[in-house]
Amino acid sequence: MTTRWLTPEEQRAWRAYNAASRLLEDAIDRQLQQEGGMPHLFYMVLANLSEAPDRRLRMTDLAETLKITRSRLTYAVTRLERDGLVRREDCRRDRRSSLAVLTDEGMAVLERTAPGHVETVRSALFDRLTPEQVGQLAEICTGIARGLQDEDPGVGAGDLPWRRRSSCSP
């Protein structure tokens, strides 16, 4: 198989993407740690639960929404549960599943933290783009995500993060 090396323009784009994504994630994490005492992932768990019916989601659905492994979600929910921000419940329809539920305390933390988070995202990302670029960014990211989830023959159903089994599984 012949290696398809990146062109100079692709290399420039790849490196720019890497730098921007790392700097953006760092800015968001710093803000959330300072104002909410939590990393970005924990905030995203709370935010997604806040938007769900009855502030609850099946753990597998939440992992898929967040594009993370089930074990990583379990770790995050365990920490949030310890802090009283989330609780777990058994799923009545599927005994193999459990639900993550946003508590009132978790909702209060989210409401306190959200304004600073939105301001950080706005100032670090959207204030630097024209309205046309915002549309292009959405289109580009949607295309990449769709391709990695649905169309890329190199990514099988078991390779998606939320479908991966723990390395400890038989």
Alpha-carbon gap, residue 155 to 159, rounded angstroms: 6
**pLDDT, position 153:** 53
Instruction: Give the orientation angle of helix 70-82 with respect to helix 59-66, to 10 degrees.
Output: 110
- Nearest Cα neighbor of 109 from 166, 19, 49 is 49
* Below-70 pLDDT ranges, the chain: 94-95, 151-159, 162-170
Residue with tokens 């995050």: 76
Q: How far is CA 158 from CA 75, 117, 127, 138, in A?
A: 20, 33, 38, 26
**pLDDT, position 32:** 97
**pLDDT, position 36:** 92
- How would you classify residue 13: left for phi > 0, otherwise alpha for psi between -120 and 50, otherwise beta? alpha
**pLDDT, position 151:** 53
Would you give the DSSP letter of residue 85?
S
**pLDDT, position 169:** 31
